[in-house]
Amino acid sequence: MCGIVGYVGSRQAAPIMLEGLKRLEYRGYDSAGIVVCSDEGLTLCKTKGYVDHLNEMVCNGDALTGSVGLGHTRWATHGRPSDENAHPHLSDGGKIAVVHNGIIENYAQLREMLAAKGVTFKSETDTEVAVNLISYFYEGDLLKAVSEAALRMEGSYALGILCEDCPDTVVAVRKESPLILGIGEGENFLASDVTALIRHTRDVIYLEDGEIATLTKGEVKVYSRDLVEVKKKTTHIDWDISAAEKGGYEHFMFKEIMEQPEAIRKTITPRLRGGRVVLDGIDFSPEYIKGLRKIYIVGCGSAYLVGVVAKYNMEKMLRIPVETALASEFRYASPLVGEDTLVICISQSGETADTIAAMREARRLGAKVLSIVNVMGSTIANESDYCVYTWAGPEIAVATTKAYSTQLAVTYLLTLYFAERLGIISDESYSELVAALQMLPEKVEEILKNKEHIQYLASLYFNKDNIFFIGRNIDYALTLEASLKLKEISYIHSDAYAAGELKHGTISLIEDGTLVIAMASYVQLLEKTVSNIVEVRSRGAEILTLTTQSAEEQISHVSDNVITIPDAHEMILPSLAVVPMQLFAYYVALSRGCSIDKPRNLAKSVTVE
């Protein structure tokens, strides 16, 4: 979703911001723009379409002179993608410029109020309301005007603000949308996320809700909502810049698929010490766990689907009811949550608007929230009671792969941790599971070595119009992710069904040549899944089955093609079974010539509701 970059220093600002915007492209956007401030005032250029087009328009930044500026990639919410609606937006009269990420919910009332005072609007956006509201309160003190405007804006916003009266200053404010400050030497930066500024500095300040910052080339100051200066901690980012670059791969998605063994290793290994699961900062008493009436797992998209797998594993081992909920539903559903509920929020970015809201609602209702987050210092990581980080490194492709896999790995660790605390797992089973977890990265490596077979299968099926996935138990949970991955990046319609539910309606969709992908890694229910495969096969379906090496023979009799994964402990099988499905989606999308890393209409980081 919308990306913001800002620069104040001695260098030409435009090329720095254009490079930052390129790095924010992965968030998803439909238009781009920049504004620079110099003694001559504000100069602006914006366009519908890609940053490359903007780059051409401003001759790689050479055409815009000035060493203070803001840049923006817009993912349309209020108003269609167009040149007029692209950011930055200027106040009526052109004195102030703003870039914005978020949604100002009371923009209609504010617009009416401002229009009644004679303000003219040129776009359909809520952002133009924000800039005019700041301008309305501006009487020579930009910081004060921003603070006054912030008090009146409802909804979510991260704003970067420039004013031609103070050409050496950028002002920033945030509420619910992410914004970080980068601290350089004789120059400072502003960005929606670290990837945009890591080439220039590794020292960052995370702005918190309601905080306002002023950046000049020599100084960064942060203020509370009521303009009292606050001391902020600087965090040093230690990941390597190459982690956010393609490193010779054609697509980030493929690179991230290939990085999974290492990402899982990094997430698991430091938490297995002396044969035991150790989760730093987490110390639930057995009484607390025993007293839990329910565990809720909440997230959006694939993060939610990790919860669907975890539910099967956790309920089976812990005998505690586990409910999964989409964050966008949970937040408005008056959830039955209280002190006797643990809410686990899963989020790669830690900034997904609905998951943030769900987390806050759960805490308001008295539940403890444990988050599983990839981005350090993000809102969910900061505000939850406990956080277990996935150490997947930056994930750039919109369709998640390594974040999903590391989130799954954390759910195994948590399940084992709870089981031990509850005293409901034998030493033997515990050691067996720890050993299985230790072997997980190698098993994923083994699957990746066979990627050419998946590529071949994709070449057989890439031109299908509909693909159905079926499975039972954890395989059903995986079909949901496999189907989502495929439709996200290949634009093929696909659906996932619990195999046992087919006969209750969906089998009517099966006709000659329909591709059904059966996931059958959960060998305890193999016979049942085989029956369902036979049912669809006898109605003309082509069958591609995923199963374990030891079940291959049994499955091959009823399948046109088979993908095998290594045998493994039942709990960790999902981590193996998902990998061929990620590769399948990738190769199908590749064969169809799709925009794999940035699928149409999708955003990586969904920071608005």
Question: Nearest-CB residue to ligand G6P?
Answer: 301
Task: Read off the amino acid at residue 236.
Answer: H
Report the Cα–Cα distance between both ends of the chain, in Å, rounded: 11
Closest to ligand G6P by CB, 337 vs 603, is 603
Per-residue three-class SS string for 238-283? CCCHHHHCCCCCCCHHHHHHHCHHHHHHHHHHHHEECCEECCCCCC
> Rounded to whole angstroms, how far apart are CA atoms 316 and 273?
25
Closest to ligand G6P by CB, 85 vs 302, is 302
Q: Which two tokens stand for residue 357?
A: 């809201």
How near is the Cβ of 352 to ligand G6P at its closest, in Å? Answer: 3
How near is the Cβ of 403 to ligand G6P at its closest, in Å? Answer: 6
Residues 524-543: x where in contact with ligand G6P by CB under 6 A, - otherwise, as a string: --------------------
How near is the Cβ of 188 to ligand G6P at its closest, in Å? Answer: 27
Of 519, 517, 570, the C-alpha closest to 544 is 517
Interface positions, 346-375, toward ligand G6P (CB under 6 A): 347-349, 352, 355
Closest to ligand G6P by CB, 43 vs 355, is 355
Which residue in the set 525, 604, 607, 608 belongs to the binding site for ligand G6P (CB under 6 A)?
A: 604
Taking the CA of residue 24 as centre, how many other CA atoms within 13 Å lie in the half-sphere pointing to its CB? 34
How near is the Cβ of 487 to ligand G6P at its closest, in Å? Answer: 12
Active-site positions? 2, 604
Strands (E), 39-154: 41-48, 68-74, 89-90, 96-104
Choices 9-17, 345-353, 517-525, 567-575; region in contact with ligand G6P by CB under 6 A: 345-353
Q: What is the DSSP letter of 462?
A: T
The crossing angle, in degrees rounded to 10, of helices 402-422 and 573-591 is 170
Beta-carbon contacts of residue 324 (< 8 Å; ≥ 6 apart):
296, 297, 298, 304, 307, 308, 310, 311
| Cα dihedral value 79, 84, 89, 90, nearest 10 | -130
Q: Which two tokens stand for residue 323?
A: 């409910």
Q: Does 301 sit near ligand G6P (CB under 6 A)? A: yes
> Rounded to whole angstroms, how far apart are CA atoms 332 and 355?
12
Choices 81-89, 344-352, 457-465, 543-551; region in contact with ligand G6P by CB under 6 A: 344-352
Which residue in the set 106, 124, 602, 609 belongs to the binding site for ligand G6P (CB under 6 A)?
A: 602
Q: Does 324 sit near ligand G6P (CB under 6 A)? A: no
How near is the Cβ of 480 to ligand G6P at its closest, in Å? Answer: 12
> Rounded to whole angstroms, how far apart are CA atoms 319 and 547?
27
Interface positions, 271-300, toward ligand G6P (CB under 6 A): 300
> Rounded to whole angstroms, how far apart are CA atoms 485 and 471?
16
Closest to ligand G6P by CB, 24 vs 399, is 399
How near is the Cβ of 89 to ligand G6P at its closest, in Å? Answer: 26
Closest to ligand G6P by CB, 343 vs 425, is 343
Choices 35-43, 341-349, 385-393, 460-468; region in contact with ligand G6P by CB under 6 A: 341-349
Task: Kindly list the distances between the CA atom of residue 271 and the CA atoms of 261, 409, 570, in Å, as whole numbers in the listed order.
Answer: 16, 11, 21
How near is the Cβ of 205 to ligand G6P at its closest, in Å? Answer: 21
SS3 label, residue 181: strand
Closest to ligand G6P by CB, 400 vs 514, is 400
Task: Read off the amino acid at residue 425.
Answer: I
How near is the Cβ of 119 to ligand G6P at its closest, in Å? Answer: 36
Give the neighbor-by-neighbor strand order of the sheet with 41-48: 41-48, 31-38, 68-74, 3-8, 188-191, 180-183, 203-206, 235-236
| Angle, CA of 245, 1 and 325, to the nearest 5° | 105
Q: Does 583 sit near ligand G6P (CB under 6 A)? A: no
Closest to ligand G6P by CB, 91 vs 374, is 374
Closest to ligand G6P by CB, 356 vs 571, is 356
How near is the Cβ of 378 to ligand G6P at its closest, in Å? Answer: 9
Closest to ligand G6P by CB, 95 vs 487, is 487
Q: Does 384 sit near ligand G6P (CB under 6 A)? A: no
Q: Which two tokens stand for residue 337?
A: 């949550």
Which residue in the set 400, 405, 490, 521 belongs to the binding site for ligand G6P (CB under 6 A)?
A: 400
Q: Does 302 sit near ligand G6P (CB under 6 A)? A: yes
Query: Which stretches of the chain bind ligand G6P, using CB under 6 A?
Result: 300-303, 347-349, 352, 355, 398-400, 602, 604, 606
